[in-house]
Amino acid sequence: MTHSKLSALFESKKKIISIYMMAGYPNLEDTIPLLEALQDSGVDLIEIGMPYSDPLADGPVIQKAGTQALSNGMNPDVLFRQLESDRSRIHIPLILMGYFNNVLQFGFEKFCKKAADVGITGLILPDLPFDLYLSDYGEMMNSYGLAFIPLLTPQTSDERIRMMDAETNGFLYAVSASATTGSQAVFPKHTLEYFDRLKGLSLKNPVLVGFGISSPSISVRCILDCRV
């Protein structure tokens, strides 16, 4: 299965460097050169953002990048074409991150097949409810070897976190705050307590932190504290 790349990564390394980039930004054909540059720089995992016209969960930086990418002509067809041209040179896991409506407009099974064909490891779809993933979409994703990466928030109950952990095989994406994407200089006490709570649940999947990562010291603290 494609997401065995994730298993191999987390088994081999304790500290994971995961980078987000917007497909088609700053220029349409920059996607592949940036992927290769990040891989050559030692990045372990790349989240490729798929631009969307109504990015409600994103802060101003990603919104601006997405708007520019759309203006450049980026869409799922173009992204898959770009990834197909370079799949033999990219060896690290690639995750597609974006809004579920984008995927539905493309056609869900068609999207999963294309993603698997170009070597995508998993999907982060923040607006796909987990219960709907279980009832309607999980079987299809699994059949194409795509890991579904669920989002956890400080408000997610321990019971639900354990259920998400049991029903997925990739990693868990811990949102550091109930807000849009963006950076912050330091995490408040209640957020660090949330990280400690996750660590104490003895989950089978690794946990990586997103939203609010502004410096190496912040990211290293998150990864060390949240990896199980």
Distance, CA of 5 to CA of 121 (rounded, Å): 7
pLDDT on residue 49: 96
Residue 173: pLDDT over 80: yes
Instruction: Give the tens place of pLDDT for each residue, 17-36.
Output: 889 999 999 999 999 999 99
Q: Which of 165, 139, 137 is nearest to 150 (CA)?
A: 165
Distance, CA of 144 to CA of 3 (rounded, Å): 10
Instruction: Give the tens place of pLDDT for each residue, 150-162.
Output: 999 999 999 999 9
Residue 176: pLDDT over 90: no
96 bridge partner residues? 48, 123
Pairwise pLDDT comparison (8 vs 222), residue with the higher score: 8
Query: What 3-state DSSP class applies to 48?
Result: strand
pLDDT on residue 152: 93
pLDDT averaged over the chain?
A: 86
Instruction: Give the tens place of pLDDT for each residue, 55-103.
Output: 776 778 889 999 999 999 999 999 999 999 888 889 999 999 999 999 9
Which two tokens mark 161?
A: 């976190």
Distance, CA of 201 to CA of 192 (rounded, Å): 15
pLDDT on residue 180: 47
Q: How many CB atoms lie within 10 A of CB 166?
A: 11
Residue 41: pLDDT over 70: yes
Strands, sheet with 18-22, edge to edge from the N-terminal-most edge strand: 18-22, 45-49, 94-97, 122-124, 147-148
Residue whose structure tokens are 């799922």: 76
Which residues carry out catalysis?
Answer: 47, 58
Domains and CATH numbers, the chain: 1-149 (3.20.20.70), 150-214 (no CATH)
